[in-house]
Chains A and B, each alone.
Chain A
């Protein structure tokens, strides 16, 4: 096959994308590709027709798969007989899994609130492989509420899942086991993981579960975050290397005990898929397993023909996306195949030239990191600079120390726990040390660079530059002038972020709370009014999630990063309530904040004091804002209206009220201002007229009085409130008042984030879910 399958694999990817995404875009890409093959590679007519055939077949297969995905449920059903055939995750008091409806075979995403600590411990082991009667409700998976936010509905739909089944009650007495080979493998996996979890010391257990079973759930989220920051999280996945090493070892052991080569090949063809399932069947494992199997099969079918790795990875890719076209959206899939391709192509040309072991490892890491940059940027908005160093350190550690140690420890522990104890002890200490080093590395300044999600054109520039770089590296060697071309897309990306002539005011959907992001055009300034905040309720220890949702960290920061924002010129915290400034600590941790504005008040909330403390540690100046303070940024004006000095009001009414002229409109941001504060506002500012009102206090009954609307005469109003919030915000009366004044209403609780994007003095409003 002479390394040619790759050209067909590319056609198959374009075919699938054409079937699932924007047709005209991918048809034109395919046209360019065919032109390249015809002119650039002088493909014969018959080969071009074969390329067309592949494109068309994969287009049809993807199209067919996407049309076939329909639900048989209306959403009103309440009783189900479901089959728990997938891995069960229990985090705190929430069990998450997937399960199949017994009648239709349709799969649901399943949520179940665990009732007791005892249930929590027994549940995973009990439910897997059983079918049970359960009562619950079907809910549509939620849509994304902010731009670039994770689209859970789309994600599930791609898996053929249309509903989230929220189980109220599992009728345990109705459960009966239903076994299959597949299930028994999954049960084996679950048992293995809980064995490690119970008998290994905590830190060693985390590493072992990841390296033996591909399970990362034992990790503390903080450690995973550190690993992500320094770009070594891929080490916690079962790698292709591991699969081929394992195959090699099994093969050699077989030969040693005098089993024929042919028999060992047959045995491996059975062992490999089993291994794939036991290790969690992640895309990278599946890729490695298919590749190894293909090479074995090619060996069996012919006399000593060895499928080249390039053909093997191409065939694996084609087989994978033919059967599961939606996998093409999976980050793990994208990374695994991209990095494999780049390493395989470089393996026979670039890498053999490097004789020094350390340099070769460095080059391998560099190729992996570089090839993954476009994908990483698209999904995570930032690239890790320190990763080169970190990988150099951690790859040998994981490959040559942790992996064998994990396996050895498990085997020894099976034989006798006493035997394994000393090894586990040292292993555990080593893991703790290594986590410590990872943590230190992640704290390096500029360990990561945030660039935001690149748009299609920038993304293409990234990909082409990376390919060009590899090409030049192979042709001319690793020279400084070649490295310079890598800087080119970074500069374009940064320039687009910074010098964009388009500004925006976005009311981020933070649920119940406020957070308003203002970016002025051409780098004139970035401001954030409030950060949202998650209100937490007391729970028992066993009920607490490993990683509790926190809106600042999980919504606001990712939103800013997705836009390539790393610096906030002024963080304006209107008042001390959790739902407005609860996310501030996370924001201060992740963003470079130049100044914090807090309202001038007599009494500070505990949260405000905490933020002031953090600001002191980070040397961020804190200004206590009061009426008449003003500043100008580019063409935009900002003026603080409230609080006025010497007027003791409660916390809500002591909110910072900001008047701003941005993008040709006058905005009034009122924080949680209520009737009392509104009166002060009206009395102090007699001749102010506005265009857009940020409705005070999430649209509560006590705010946005008739007088206010009459006085300021806004034409549009934005209400920032949580969907189905327990306060009933916004109140019907407020909505009525706004409607009476014929004010256009935008609501984050119904429409998701609300954005005004502008160029010069003209702009338009848009919402995430219209």
Chain B
């Protein structure tokens, strides 16, 4: 108990004014680490979304929609090379400006503690998905050295789960510098760690963001081809 100091918000570093109320008085304490105003800037995905990639339809023009799929997913699934690897992607937040800033600080500027901000919601989602292995999207050794931690792995750990690092990267160029076409037609960037088996395992891939789905689908393909029973992905944000 800090006598004359309230806790500071993990995101904006302003004081968190404690909430009072009857429920707070009688129910179990939840320790807030993010202030009300930051919390309000997160935009949680809800409403109608693409069945496959969880993209909210309300942000999508109708021409890019086919029934309950988005045009992106339709194109992926039309391609015989990619069809059927990824069962489904689940994202928690919209990738709005605020989220962009928070994720940039998290992974590019190494603010590891921000993983705690997301821990509760990630944990909640993971508990709902039936899985055998939680596989974080790996970083190349060079990136890992630069950042000091794998942002996807940190999300799993902070949600009190154990990551299964079964994938490694073969190539090392930043995805975010590439176009969609380049990404899709990239040679495989992941490989299964030798000595790891995913045979008949239900797998959840975890990453910070799903933009085109290329990264996730590459990883899913490797895993499926190695005999995984199913591959679902969980990402913090849907770009």
The answer to whether B22 touches A349 (Cβ under 8 A) is yes
A348→B23 contact, CB < 8 A: no
Q: Is A4 an interface residue (CB 8 A)?
A: yes
Q: Is the CB of B18 within 8 A of A298?
A: no
- Cβ contact within 8 Å between B22 and A305: no
B229 interface contact, C-beta 8 A: no
A118 close to chain B: CB less than 8 A = no
Interface residues in B3-45 (C-beta closer than 8 Å to A):
3-7, 15, 17-29
Shortest Cβ gap from A368 to chain B (Å) = 15
Determine if B59 is an interface residue (Cβ-Cβ < 8 Å): no
Residue pair A305, B21 in contact (C-beta under 8 Å): no
How many angstroms between the C-alpha atoms of A692 and B2 in the bound complex? 69
A4 proximity list for chain B (CB < 8 A) = 1
Q: Is the CB of A349 within 8 A of B28?
A: no
Assess whether A471 is in contact with B29, with CB atoms less than 8 Å apart: no
Mark contacts of A689-717 with chain B using CB atoms, 8 A cut-off: 1 yes-contact digit, 0 otherwise: 00000000000000000000000000000
Give min CB distance, A16 to chain B, whole Å: 21
On whether A308 and B28 interact (CB within 8 A), knowing A302-B4, A302-B5, the answer reads no
Closest approach, in angstroms, between the C-beta of B25 and any C-beta of chain A? 6
For residue A308, which residues in chain B have a CB less than 8 angstroms away from its CB?
Answer: 17-18, 20
Q: Report the Cα distance A302→B15, complex, angstroms.
A: 13
For A3, give its contact among B3, B4, B18, B28 (CB under 8 Å): B18
Could you tell me if A474 and B1 are in contact, using CB atoms closer than 8 angstroms?
no
A331 at the interface (CB under 8 A from B): no
The distance in angstroms between the C-alpha atoms of A470 and B25, with both chains bound, is: 11
Asked if A41 is an interface residue, CB under 8 A from chain B, the answer is yes
**How many angstroms from the CA of A349 to the CA of B19 in the assembled complex?**
8
Residues of B within 8 A of A302 (CB): 4-5
Across the interface, A310 reaches (CB within 8 A) one of B4, B15, B20, namely B20
Q: Bound complex: CA of A302 vs CA of B17, how far in Å?
A: 15
Q: Which residue of A lies closest to B19 (CB)?
A: A348
> Is A500 among interface residues, defined by CB-CB distance under 8 A?
no
Complex contact A471–B20 (CB within 8 A): no
Q: Which residues of A contact B5 (CB under 8 A)?
A: 302, 305
Cβ of A2 within 8 Å of any chain B Cβ, yes or no, is yes
Chain A contacts for B15, CB-based, 8 A = 305
Contact with B along A438-482 (1 / 0, CB 8 A): 000000000000000000000000000001001101110000000
Report chain B residues within 8 Å CB of A2.
1, 6-7, 18
Measured CB to CB, the closest approach of chain A to B33, in angstroms, equals: 13
**Nearest Cβ in chain A — how far from B93, in angstroms?**
26
Contact across chains for B22 and A3 when beta carbons are under 8 A apart: no
Question: Please, how many angstroms separate the alpha-carbon atoms of A2 and B18 in the complex?
Answer: 5
B222 shortest CB reach to chain A, Å: 43
Complexed CA–CA distance, A148 and B28 (Å): 40
Contact, CB under 8 Å: B4 / A349: no
Across the interface, B25 reaches (CB within 8 A) one of A298, A301, A305, A345, namely: A345
- Any chain B CB within 8 A of the CB of A412? no
Residues of A within 8 A of B17 (CB): 308
Inside 8 A of B20's CB, which chain A residues have their CB?
A: 3, 308-310, 344-345, 347-349
Kindly count the residue-residue contacts between A and B in the assembled complex, taking CB atoms under 8 Å apart.
67
A473: B residues at CB distance < 8 A:
22
A770 at the interface (CB under 8 A from B): no
Which one of B6, B7, B23, B26 lies within 8 Å of A349 (CB-CB)?
B23
Residue from B6, B22, B26 having most chain A Cβ neighbours under 10 A = B22
> CB-nearest residue of chain B relative to A472?
B22
Query: Assuming A346-B22, A348-B20, A349-B20, is B4 touching A40 (CB within 8 A)?
Result: no
Residue on A with the closest CB to B29? A41
Minimum Cβ distance to chain A for residue B197 (Å): 40
A1 adjacent to chain B (CB < 8 Å)? yes
Smallest Cβ distance from A210 to chain B, in angstroms? Answer: 32
Instruction: Write out, one digit per residue, whether chain A residues 1-43 have a CB within 8 A of any chain B CB (1) or not (0).
Output: 1111010000000000000000000000000000000001110
- Whether B4 lies near A41 (C-beta < 8 A) is no
- Of the residues B6, B7, B23, contact of A474 by C-beta under 8 Å: B23
Q: What separation, in Å, do the CA atoms of A323 and B5 have in the docked complex?
A: 27
- Judging by beta carbons under 8 Å apart, are B28 and A40 in contact? yes
B29 with A1: CB separation less than 8 A: no
Give Cα distance in the complex from A349 to B24, angstroms: 10
Determine if B26 and A471 form an interchain contact, defined as CB atoms under 8 angstroms apart: yes
Residues of B within 8 A of A310 (CB): 20
Are B29's CB and A42's CB within 8 A?
yes
B34 smallest CB distance to A (angstroms) = 15
A6 to B26, CA, bound (A): 12
B21 and A345 form a contact (CB under 8 A): yes
**A40 pairs with B21, CB closer than 8 A:** no
Report the bound CA distance from A2 to B3 in whole Å: 9
Asked if B22 and A301 sit within 8 Å, CB to CB, the answer is no
Q: Mark A569-587, 1 if CB is under 8 A from B, else 0.
A: 0000000000000000000
Complex formed: what's the CA distance from A42 to B28 in Å?
7
CB < 8 Å neighbour of B23 from A6, A47, A471: A471
Q: Closest CB of chain B to A510's CB: distance in Å?
A: 46
Which residues does B use to contact A, with CB under 8 Å?
1-7, 15, 17-29
14 interchain pairs (CB within 8 A)?
Answer: A2-B6, A3-B18, A41-B29, A302-B5, A305-B6, A308-B17, A308-B20, A309-B20, A348-B21, A349-B22, A349-B23, A350-B21, A467-B22, A471-B26
Q: Which 10 A-B pairs have the closest CB atoms?
A: A349-B21, A302-B4, A2-B18, A471-B22, A474-B22, A3-B18, A470-B22, A305-B4, A310-B20, A348-B20
12 extra A-B contacts, CB within 8 A, seeds A1-B4, A349-B21, A349-B22? A1-B1, A2-B6, A2-B18, A3-B19, A6-B25, A42-B28, A47-B1, A308-B18, A344-B20, A467-B22, A471-B22, A473-B22
